[in-house]
Amino acid sequence: MSSKTGASGVKPGPRRTQTWSLAGRLIALYAGSAFSLVLISTVLLHWSLVRSLAQEDDQFLIERAHVLRRLLNGDAAKSVELRWEVESEWQGFTAPQSYVRILGSDGTLAGETPGMPDQLPRELFPPAVARPEEVKQGRDVRSRGGQLFRVLSVAVDRAQDGRRYAVQVAMDRTSDEGVLRRSGRTLVFVQTIAMLVSLFGGYQIAHRGMRPVNTMAATA
C-alpha cells in the first residue's frame, strides 16, 4: 500500500514544500546579511558626513569668536577693525552667511551684524561659556525665517577694565542642509538597489546550493 502511495506521487508534495521552505530561509539569510552590510556602511558614511560638516562649522565659529576676543582685549576694542569684523558679512543686498553680536554684562548692545535681530534674536543663543577655550561645539537652531544656523556664545573679560562681554556668533547652515538632504536621497536609492541586488544574489546562491537537495528529493 505504501509503495503505491509513493509511486502515485502523493508524498513528494510535502517534501518539495520543505525543500522550497529551506531555500526561502537561505535566500532570506544571504540577502539579509548582504543588505545589512550595505546598510551599516551607508549609514556610517552619512553619519560621518554629518559630523564632518558640523565640525567644520564649529571650527569656523570658534575661530571667529577668538578673533573677536582678541579685538575686545586689545586697543582696537572701539576701532574700525572691530566694527569691520562684526559687520563684514553685511552687503546690504544679500543675507549674511554669518552673524556676530556683542553684548555687555548688563545686556546692552555693543555691536551686531545688521539684520541679525530679524533672524536670530539673542534668546536663541545658549548661555555664554565663561572659559572660551573650553568651547568645543555649537548647537543647531532655527531662525525666525526657518533657516538652519549653528550658534555658540562665549564670555570675554577685558583685561583693561574688567568688563565682561558676551559674544554671540552664528553661521548659516542652509548649504549644509542641502548637502545632507541630497546625501539622504542618495542613501535611500543605494539601499533600494542594494536590497534588490541582495535578493537576486541570495536567490542565485540558494538555488545553486539547493540543487543537490532537489536532486535527492526527486530521486527519493
pLDDT confidence of residue 206:
63
Are 56 and 137 within 8 A, CB to CB? no
The answer to whether the pTM exceeds 0.85 is: no
Q: What is the pLDDT of residues 153-189, one digit of tens each?
A: 998 887 677 788 889 999 999 888 888 889 888 888 8
Domain boundaries along the sequence of the chain: 11-220
Q: What is the pLDDT of residues 182-216, one digit of tens each?
A: 988 888 888 888 888 877 776 676 666 655 655 65
> CA angle at residue 131 from 128 to 134, to 5 degrees?
100
Q: What is the pLDDT of residues 141-151, one digit of tens each?
A: 999 889 999 99
Mean pLDDT of the chain: 77
Cα separation, 111 vs 102, whole angstroms: 5
C-alpha cell recorded at residue 21: 521552505
Sort residue 146 into left (φ over 0), alpha (ψ -120 to 50) or beta: left
Using alpha carbons, select from 60, 53, 65, 59 the residue that is nearest to residue 153: 65
Give the burial class of 144: count Cβ atoms within 10 A of its Cβ; 0-12 exposed, 13-18 middle, 19 or more buried: exposed
